[in-house]
Amino acid sequence: MVRNRKGLAPWSLAREAGIESATVDGTIEIPQLVQPVLDTGFVDEKGDWKGAKSNDKDFMAFGTFPAIANGGAILAPGVNPDGTWPLDMTGYSDIQIAIRPTNGGNVLIKAVMGPDTISYANLSPVNPGFVLMGNSAQATPADLEDLFVESAAELTVDVWNIYMISNVLANQKLLQFSITNNSGDISTIETAFMRLV
C-alpha cells in the first residue's frame, strides 16, 4: 500500500533553486511504501544462492522389503530413480522414521553410511553400512560414539510405527538405516522418512 505524507524539508524548493527571498522551510511529499519481505535464503561467500530449508511436507523415500527372515536385515532407503540420494540431511536437524511390518515384534535400527556408489560431498568411495559415529552432546569432548543404535524398537503389526530421532543425525549427507527383523518370524517391512529443520 502506497501513501504519501507531508514532511518538513530543511529548505524550500524555491530557495534550493536560488530565490533568496523564499522561506527557509517548506513541505515535501514523502512516499510511504509498506511491502512484505520474505526471507527464503541467502547468497553464500561464493555467490551461490542457498535456499532456506523447511520441513518435508510428507513422508518420502518409501521402500518395501518383502519376506525378511527373522534375523535378516534391510538397508533403507535406496537410491532415487534419478540416481540421487533421498536422505541428504544437510540443513536438517531431525528425522522421523516410519516402519510398517507384517509381523509385530522387535527390530534393531542403526544409522549407517549409505552406499559407496554415491560420493559423500567429494569423497568416494565411502564405507557402506558402517554405523555412523560422531561426538554428540551426550559424549565427552574426546569421545566418538555410535550416533544412533536402537537394539529393540517394538513394532505393532500392519500399522505405521513412527519414531523421531532428534539432532544426532543432523547434516549427514548419505544417511541410511539398517533395520534387522528380530520379530521371531518372516516379516515384510515398509519404510518411509521425513526430515525436519
Looking at the structure, tell me whether residues 80 and 15 fall in a common domain: no
Looking at the structure, tell me whether residues 26 and 111 fall in a common domain: no
Beta bridge partners of 158: none
Tell whether 22 is covered by a domain.
yes
Give DSSP secondary structure letters for 25-93. -EEEEEEEE-------EEE-TTS-EEEPP---SS-EEEEEEEEEPTT-EEEES---TTS--S---TT--
Tell whether 180 is covered by a domain.
yes
Residue 96: exposure state from Cβ atoms within 10 A (0-12, 13-18, ≥19): middle
Looking at the structure, tell me whether residues 142 and 58 fall in a common domain: yes
Tell whether 124 is covered by a domain.
yes
Residue by residue, pLDDT tens for the chain (197 residues) are: 556 666 555 555 666 666 666 555 556 666 777 778 777 787 888 888 888 888 999 999 999 999 999 999 999 999 998 989 999 999 999 999 999 999 999 999 999 999 999 999 999 999 999 999 998 766 667 788 899 999 999 999 999 999 999 999 999 999 999 999 999 999 999 999 999 99
Residue 134: all three cell numbers together? 560422531
Looking at the structure, tell me whether residues 6 and 96 fall in a common domain: no
Edge-to-edge strand list for the sheet holding 175-182: 73-76, 175-182, 105-113, 149-155
Looking at the structure, tell me whether residues 15 and 97 fall in a common domain: no
* CA dist., res. 88 & res. 195, Å (int): 9
Looking at the structure, tell me whether residues 95 and 147 fall in a common domain: yes
Tell whether 84 is covered by a domain.
yes
Helix (H/G/I), strand (E/B), else coil: 172: coil
Tell whether 164 is covered by a domain.
yes
* CA dist., res. 65 & res. 150, Å (int): 20
Q: What is the dihedral of CA 61, 133, 153, 77, to 10 degrees?
A: 10
Tell whether 98 is covered by a domain.
yes
Looking at the structure, tell me whether residues 120 and 188 fall in a common domain: yes
Looking at the structure, tell me whether residues 109 and 141 fall in a common domain: yes
Specify the pLDDT at position 32.
Answer: 72
Looking at the structure, tell me whether residues 68 and 18 fall in a common domain: no
Q: How many domains does the chain have?
A: 2
Specify the pLDDT at position 150.
Answer: 96
Whole-model pTM over 0.85: no
Looking at the structure, tell me whether residues 151 and 187 fall in a common domain: yes
Tell whether 41 is covered by a domain.
no
Specify the pLDDT at position 190.
Answer: 98
Domain extent, residue 27, equals: 2-33
Residue 104 sits in a domain of what CATH number? 2.60.120.380
How many other CB atoms are there within 10 angstroms of residue 47's CB atom? 6
DSSP 123: B
Tell whether 42 is covered by a domain.
no
Specify the pLDDT at position 63.
Answer: 96
How many other CB atoms are there within 10 angstroms of residue 50's CB atom? 12
Looking at the structure, tell me whether residues 16 and 57 fall in a common domain: no
Looking at the structure, tell me whether residues 69 and 27 fall in a common domain: no
